[in-house]
Amino acid sequence: MAGLETVVAQWSQWLLEHRLHGDDDLFRQTEAWLTPVREKVLENATLAGDETLLDVGCGDGVLGFGALPQLPDGHVIFSDIAPDVLTLTQALAREFNVDTHCQFVQADATTLKPIADRAVDVVTTRSVLIYVSDIQRAFDTFYRVLKPEGVFSLFEPIHRFAQFPVPHLFYGYDISAVQSLADKLKQSQPQTAHFDVHDLIRYAENAGFREINLEYVASSVYSTAIVDFDTHFNTAHIKQVLRQDEATQFIAHLRERVAMTTPRERHAVAYLWGEK
């Protein structure tokens, strides 16, 4: 029980020391964003304490490890398509001394082949469907693996609203002077699904869920100061994609635009949950 009670604090400490390399400012920003998301997704799941929770696309475990203290008589199945991700979460579970409450399954979100029909009480996801090619199939699969009256709870960014459909903008900054370099960068980035909240409800309805709830949060604001330029714009990735001279030119131009411009940023996210 002690392990379950302290696992969230242990995960936060690991986040600070390993993923964020001891950067306190970045840790506070990350925690300020991740904590309410985790709490809201789990709140919407209405855990009683004895469920089997399937965390689809678990990543480094923010939802799954967050759920464990609420499941003293249950357990969490960590599922991800990437084996190295599962290796990491399994190692963390052993380090946190909660591995007896955990299971690790490599699976695609659209099929979840290792998971039997009606095998779990709760399905959770965080920012997973934006990377799924067949979202309807994923919802159908969530329905398949859930027990009768089982619950799904998810969080997704709504990129259709958030991303400006303007080619010469990069994170809201005018990069028309280096447009060809920006196009190279955009082509190298993972393609994400551009669904909206109506699509999410329709997918859940088509899958057969009898009760569906949605909370949508959107904003359009002038951006705040950038704490760390290299982290915010992932300059390491820019240097990987572009030639050295191209990366130098692009980053220099972007720094200049950041110093001169206060761009408008649009953000939108959705919480969706429902019952089978």
79-124 pLDDT per residue, tens = 999 999 999 999 999 999 999 999 999 999 999 999 999 999 999 9
- Residue 115 has a CB neighbour count (10 Å cut-off) of 21
Instruction: Identify each DSSP E strand in the chain by its residue range.
Output: 52-56, 75-80, 102-106, 120-126, 146-157, 169-170, 173-174, 211-222, 264-275
Task: Enter the DSSP assignment of 190.
Answer: P
Q: Hey, where are the domains in the chain?
A: 2-158+191-220+268-275
H or E element in which residue 11 lies: helix 2-14
Residue labelled with tokens 């990735």: 237
Owner of token pair 């991700």 = 85
pLDDT tens per residue across span 57-75: 999 899 999 999 999 999 9
More confident residue, 22 or 249: 249
pLDDT tens-digit map of 231-257: 878 888 899 999 999 999 999 999 999
pLDDT of residue 18: 74
Residues 14, 18: Cα–Cα separation, whole Å: 6
In contact, 259 and 203? CB cutoff 8 Å? no
Give residue for tokens 């599962």: 86
Residue range 150-179: mean pLDDT, rounded: 82
**Which has the closest alpha carbon to 205: 215, 196, 213, 216?**
213
**Percentage, residues of the chain above pLDDT 70:** 91
- Which phi and psi angles does 151 have, rounded to 5°? -125, 140
Whether the CB-CB separation of 126 and 37 falls below 8 Å is answered with yes
Query: In whole angstroms, what is the distance from residue 161 CA to residue 66 CA?
Result: 29
Bigger pLDDT: 192 vs 66: 66
Farthest-apart Cα atoms in the chain, separation: 59
User: Strand 211-222 and strand 173-174: pairing?
Assistant: unpaired
Per the rule left: phi > 0, alpha: psi between -120 and 50, beta: everything else, 200 is alpha
- Of the listed ranges 29-33, 48-52, 224-228, the least confidently predicted one is 224-228
Q: Are 101 and 73 in contact (CB under 8 A)?
A: no
Q: What is the pLDDT of residue 9?
A: 86
Q: What is the mean pLDDT of the chain?
A: 88
Q: Is pLDDT above 80 for 49?
A: yes
Q: Among 50, 49, 19, which residue's Cα sits nearest to residue 34?
A: 19
Confidence of residue 6 (pLDDT cuts 50, 70, 90): confident
User: Which tokens in the block code for residue 273?
Assistant: 């949950």
Name every residue whose Cβ is closer than 8 Å to that of residue 245 and which is 6 or more positions away in sequence.
Answer: none
Confidence (pLDDT) at 230: 86
Q: What does the pLDDT read at residue 227?
A: 64
- pLDDT score of 27 more than 70: no
* CATH number of this structure's domain 2-158+191-220+268-275, picked from the four choices 3.10.560.10, 3.40.50.150, 3.30.200.20, 3.40.50.1370: 3.40.50.150
The residues that bridge with 216 in the sheet, in sequence order, are: 270
What pLDDT was estimated at residue 163?
Answer: 59
Report residue 222's pLDDT band, with 50, 70 and 90 as the boundaries.
confident
